[in-house]
Amino acid sequence: MTAPKDLETWLSEKVGPTYDAMKADPARAVTPDQVRRTLADLHANDDSGRQADIARAIELARSVDAGLESLLPFGPAEHLTTAEAVAAFLADADATADPAYNEHAQVLAARARAMHGIK
């Protein structure tokens, strides 16, 4: 299991900059089909003995389309422990102007309030 500090470092050094780059230039993104084709090409042309690893990666890529659930589910309501945190969360959701996301945020906020006894 990844230690929290390692996770924090990975998020700040890898995930954050990647997210920022993709947000700045969405054309950089590749589709799931492109990933599968690349993996299939690697599998077909690999002579390093890593074909089993590549085959597993292909299966994982296919499972995304089948609705693969996260192995480590994240429950945002668990981390909304104060009225201020809930208010900030709802303000952020409102700023997206996405009705579906706002509705989901309201449900999470209600769950957080019930979980933590927030009024």
Give buried/exposed letters for 35-49 (b at 16+ CB in 10 A, else e). Answer: ebeebeebbeeeeee
Report whether 54 contacts 42 (CB < 8 A): yes
Query: Cα Rg for the chain, rounded, in angstroms?
Result: 20
Report whether 61 contacts 70 (CB < 8 A): no
Q: What is the pLDDT of residues 21-55, one digit of tens each?
A: 888 888 877 777 787 777 777 777 776 666 666 66
Instruction: Please say if the pLDDT value at position 72 is more than 70.
Output: no
CA angle 31, 64, 58 (to 5 degrees): 80
Q: How confident is the model at residue 71 (pLDDT cuts 50, 70, 90)?
A: very low
Residues 88 and 66: their CA atoms lie apart, in Å, by 34
CA 117 to chain centre: 28
Residues 43 and 28: their CA atoms lie apart, in Å, by 24
Q: What is the pLDDT of residues 84-116, one digit of tens each?
A: 999 999 999 899 888 888 898 999 899 999 988
